[in-house]
Amino acid sequence: MDSETVAKARPDSAAEPGGRWIIWAVLGATAAVFWPVTHWIVVETVARAQIRQGFLILIMAAALVAWRQRRELRFLGDLGNPTLGLLTAAFALVGAAGALKWSLLVLPGFAFAMAGCLRALFGTKGYCYFRPLVAGFSALLVIILAFPLLDWPLRQLAGGGAAWVLNAVEIAPRLTLTGTPGDPQLILTVSGQNFLVATECNGFGLITSAALVAILAGGISGRRAWVVAALVPVALITGFAANVGRILVISLSAPFFPGRYHEMHEVAGTFALWAGLGFVVWLAWRPVADTKPACEARDATAAAPR
């Protein structure tokens, strides 16, 4: 096999300097098309603390991948068929969203665009390392959409779960529904003290952050896709249980910290967050012996001479 054949068979050969401007033009056009979605993500993330928490986890995961693979990552300028396929799918979804007047189609388009841009920048190997982040950002899009829909149901579940546990240990709580149909409020009464189960108590941030950690920790450490998928519901349950535990600690400890409710509330919340996420990391983070990404192995096999 001559050297020219070897170069063609290698999927991660760097782009020629003359062709890099084409790659940057494609990336710039993609960024311009998806700027409205990017702006929407930023606005929604800044507006809600629960979503900021998940976004911060994604940023830390990206930094972890970059640090772990710092010797492997380099600009390659890959505009091969897989990259073009991802970007074509992204632009096709944007076009379909406009034609069908269904703006939600832009969101999966954003995920395809992110995958295509990462592959264009870092080639097959780099894309494989960052692929869990694409899954994480896709989950973040779902999280942003789900927040307004799940706020009140999660508050009901959290308050009801805490009341069930208190009843089980023979502490008689009371749940009271107040407010208006447009702005319902849930009051948990424990030992004569009233606690508002507010939006901040719905556990949305903890539950969704646990799911993100399962996706990212499992994917980055090289777990199989079906294992990561199985870890997600476990993480959701863990996040819910940690949030109910937080409500129990706050409602039962409040009488012992008169005048220090805010501090006690923050300590309980911080402990629940780190305990829940730490447990999910312990479950999900299992680095495999073979660190070569599965998609890199598939591409290498496909590129090998017959």
Q: What is the DSSP string of 199-220?
A: GGGS-HHHHHHHHHHHHHHHHH
Query: In DSSP terms, which residues pair with 188 in a beta bridge?
Result: 175, 195
- Alpha carbon of 176 to those of 160, 167, 173, 237, 265: distances in Å? 11, 15, 10, 25, 21
Which pLDDT belongs to residue 5?
43
Q: pLDDT at residue 21 above 80?
A: yes
Residue 76 identity: L
Residue 27 identity: L
Instruction: Please calculate the CA angle 54-59-62 and round it to the nearest 5 degrees.
Output: 125
Contact between 141 and 110 under an 8 Å Cβ cutoff? The reply is yes
Which pLDDT belongs to residue 265?
87
Structure tokens of 302? 């496909």
Which pLDDT belongs to residue 19?
62
Element (H, E) at 174: strand 174-180
Q: pLDDT at residue 25 above 70?
A: yes
Q: What is the average pLDDT across 221-236? A: 94
Give the whole-angstrom CA distance, residue 274 versus residue 242. Answer: 9
**Number of other residues whose CB lies within 10 A of the CB of residue 104:** 12
What are the E-state strand segments in 114-155? none
Most confident of 53-57, 72-76, 167-171: 53-57
Contact between 240 and 204 under an 8 Å Cβ cutoff? The reply is no
pLDDT digits (tens, 9 = 90+) for 56-93: 999 999 999 999 888 888 887 788 889 999 999 999 99
Residue of higher predicted confidence among 304 and 91:
91
Most confident of 74-88, 213-227, 248-262: 213-227
Which pLDDT belongs to residue 70?
86
Which pLDDT belongs to residue 2?
46
Q: pLDDT at residue 195 above 70?
A: yes
Q: Helices 20-33 and 106-168, interaxial angle, to 10°?
A: 50
Which pLDDT belongs to residue 191?
84
The pLDDT-based confidence of 4 (bands split at 50, 70, 90) is very low
Residue of higher predicted confidence among 161 and 170:
161
Which pLDDT belongs to residue 37?
93
Structure tokens of 50? 């629960």
Give the whole-angstrom CA distance, residue 104 versus residue 145. Answer: 10
Which pLDDT belongs to residue 75?
80
Q: Percentage of the chain surpassing pLDDT 90? A: 61
The pLDDT-based confidence of 247 (bands split at 50, 70, 90) is very high
Contact between 297 and 227 under an 8 Å Cβ cutoff? The reply is no
Query: In DSSP terms, which residues pair with 174 in a beta bridge?
Result: 189
Residue of higher predicted confidence among 37 and 304:
37
Q: What is the average pLDDT across 22-40? A: 93
Which pLDDT belongs to residue 50?
86
Q: What is the average pLDDT across 232-247? A: 96
Q: What is the mean pLDDT of the chain?
A: 86
**Number of other residues whose CB lies within 10 A of the CB of residue 181:** 5
Which pLDDT belongs to residue 182?
81
Give the whole-angstrom CA distance, residue 86 versus residue 82. Answer: 6
Contact between 213 and 280 under an 8 Å Cβ cutoff? The reply is yes
- Alpha carbon of 50 to those of 93, 200, 240: distances in Å? 29, 8, 14
Q: What is the average pLDDT across 181-199? A: 88
Collapse the DSSP code of 286 into the 3-class scheme (helix H, G, I; strand E, B; otherwise coil) and give the result. Answer: coil
